[in-house]
Amino acid sequence: MHSSGLIDSFSEFKEFKNIDRATMQRVLEDVFRSMLRKKYGSDEFFSVIVNDNSGDLEIWHNREIVHDGEVEDERKEIALKDAHRIEPDFEVGEELTEEVTLESFGRRAILAARQTLMGKIMELEKDELYRKYKDRVGEVVSGEVYQIWKKEIMVLDDEGNELLLPKTEMIPADHYKKGDAIRAVVFKVEMYNGSPRIILSRTAPVFLERLFEMEVPEIIDGVIAVKKIVREPGERAKVAVESFDDRIDPVGACVGMKGSRIHGIVRELRNENIDVINFTTNLQLLIQRALSPAKISSIKIDEESRRASVYLKPDQVSLAIGKGGHNIKLAGKLAGMEIDVYRESDEDEGDIDLDEFADEIDGWILDELKGIGCDTAKSVLNLSVEDLSRRTELEEETILEVRRILQSEFE
């Protein structure tokens, strides 16, 4: 059939990046079956064939040959004399298959079909792109900065799809120009006015988690788990990790030899300070680790109000709070509590380190007390017997004896 225009159209359409060939052929067949129904009232007696290799299209009209004057439905029957005009050897009862030319539909119908085809393909492209990226939420993607606006940046992925990085999802120190390479996580995918909007993020905690997975093979292998991440993008982040193999230090594995693994992540995040800490279900110990590098004297926790009172020596307070308050804010988020910092009074200057009592108190008892954040005599005495009994594995009789020994040093 003379369908060069149609073939050219199909050549354009079949290369669309998000539509597979089988779907493309099905759409093309549907469009032309619709044309047949408009012209003949039905497509029941027609075959629409799309060549899998060339993309060429053929339409065939299948009719039964009947005696002259006995044609009841021209869609399914043809008179013998009309059949003989096509092929003189035809006989009554045989099936005649006749090619339908594209021109027979008329120019207007062909243009309408092309318009319909374009509309269907555009819809399919949008749906396919939405589904593709909906399944990739939480994945890191790479792209190239294509356009920069006041509130967002347009990024093109490897296939030329348009992705958006809002300024609110950028690290404050991020500055891009057209053509720059960029990495971000797929944050969310939404439909807006019938078109998919793929939103990227460089500030989401999951972006940092994916970067760790790329740099630390033990995480992908399941030996180390990232339990929680909290961030102040571009400033500081805290990452709690846990190892399922006693032989592997999770913090050391994540940081790498001389910081080799974490340096790449820090550079990607514009020199964001990253604290990697060992996760624990012991809340006091978790807070103590989260507030590093500050050294804590004692901690009091109120489970009901979800508040923790942290007592430190005056020279440790600024370390606990950190620049801009980021350290204490992130420690609170990591522990899921509000942390209040208190300076120890001057009378606390005479406090004594627990290790000084190693001759009178067994080492395992001292370790138990240190495990709940008590590393000085007064930090233990500031807690009631009930608190110490609840938070440690020590028996009440042992606690009373320990308190007696500690108290004697201040009498």
Query: What are the extents of the domains in the chain?
Result: 4-121, 136-203, 280-345, 351-408
Residue whose C-alpha is closest to residue 275's, from 175, 283, 288 = 288
Q: 3-class DSSP state for residue 239?
A: strand
- In this structure, of 69-73, 221-225, 230-234, the range with the lowest mean pLDDT score is 69-73
Give the E-state strand segments of 32-174 in sequence order: 46-50, 57-66, 77-79, 95-99, 140-148, 152-156, 162-166
Sign, CA torsion 208/210/214/220? positive
pLDDT per residue over 293-348, tens digit each? Answer: 899 988 999 988 999 999 988 778 888 888 888 999 999 999 999 998 887 754 44
Alpha-carbon distance 132 to 134, whole Å?
Answer: 6
Given this model, what pLDDT does residue 411 score?
Answer: 66
Written as six digits, the tokens of 122 are: 């555009």
Is 3.30.1480 the CATH classification of the domain at 4-121?
yes
Q: What band does 84 get if pLDDT is binned at 50, 70 and 90? A: confident
| Contact between residue 195 and residue 133 where contact means Cβ atoms under 8 Å apart | no
pLDDT exceeds 60 at position 14: no
Answer yes or no: CATH 2.40.50.140 is held by domain 136-203: yes
**H/E element holding 342?**
strand 338-343
For residue 293, whether the previous peptide bond is cis, meaning omega lies within 30 degrees of 0, is yes
Tell me how far apart the alpha carbons of residues 26 and 191 are, in angstroms, rounded to a whole number.
25
Backbone angles phi, psi at 202, to 5 degrees: -115, 0
pLDDT in tens, 367-384: 888 878 787 888 888 888
CATH homologous superfamily of 280-345: K homology (KH) domain (3.30.300.20)
